[in-house]
Amino acid sequence: MSIGFKEWSLVCEALGRGRQCILLRKGGIAEEGGQFRFKYSEFFLYPTFFHQQKEKTKILPDFNEPVPSVQNAGIRYFAKVRWVKRLVDLKMIKRLSPFHIWQESVIEERYRYRQTAYIDLAFVEILQLSEIWRIQETPEIVGCKSWVPLPALPAEIGIYPIYKEENLKEFERQIVDIVGS
């Protein structure tokens, strides 16, 4: 069994193309106890079109959204969480804008989602699958939840790094300069 992390398709592509190196989460309706947490350190990025709103992103003109497929999701990327930090300072969070594709209004909405305002940040290393892994959606996968069970990755599909370690270290240095260690 593998684990999938459901995220907007556009965000998955931004992560895979190096336009984003962090995940910012607020929690969700179907999370255990209504609380989100990065409970897995490695997971497949499961692209979803549920709740996705292209107008709430800072997408560049050459960034084409994949054709939605509700019944047969295509997984392209695998994530390894390097570290996680809870952020409570909105001014600091706004300084992370160069490292993600969400509009400022989305970040503020996520930050203020709870009575106690915060966002959880995960700095991630993204790896690419050697081919698109098609997953048939099951009842365990559909719905508003972050973590979903996936079958085992087929043996013929490999996973390889997209970026050199020194590039990741530079992104990490810049982010740590903003949020602290």
- pLDDT, tens digit, 9 for 90 and up, residues 55-64: 666 765 555 5
CA–CA gap between residue 128 and residue 79 (Å, rounded): 9
Band (pLDDT 50/70/90 cuts) for residue 69 is very low
Question: 107 phi and psi, to 5 degrees?
Answer: -65, -45
Tell me the torsion sign for CA atoms 81, 68, 148, 28: positive
Helices (H), 17-164: 90-94, 104-111
Residue 67 pLDDT > 60, yes or no?
no
Give the pLDDT mean for 159-173: 92
For the chain, how many structural domains are there in total? 1
Domain limits at 35? 2-179
Return the pLDDT at 32.
Answer: 61
DSSP state of 50: T
Whole-prediction pTM: 0.85
State how far the alpha carbon of 131 is from the alpha carbons of 20, 74, 79, in Å: 21, 9, 16
Q: How confident is the model over 82-116, as pLDDT tens digits? A: 999 999 999 999 999 999 888 888 888 888 887 78
Sorted by sequence, the CB contacts under 8 Å of residue 108 that are 6+ apart come out as 90
Question: Is residue 43 within 8 Å of 33, Cβ to Cβ?
Answer: no
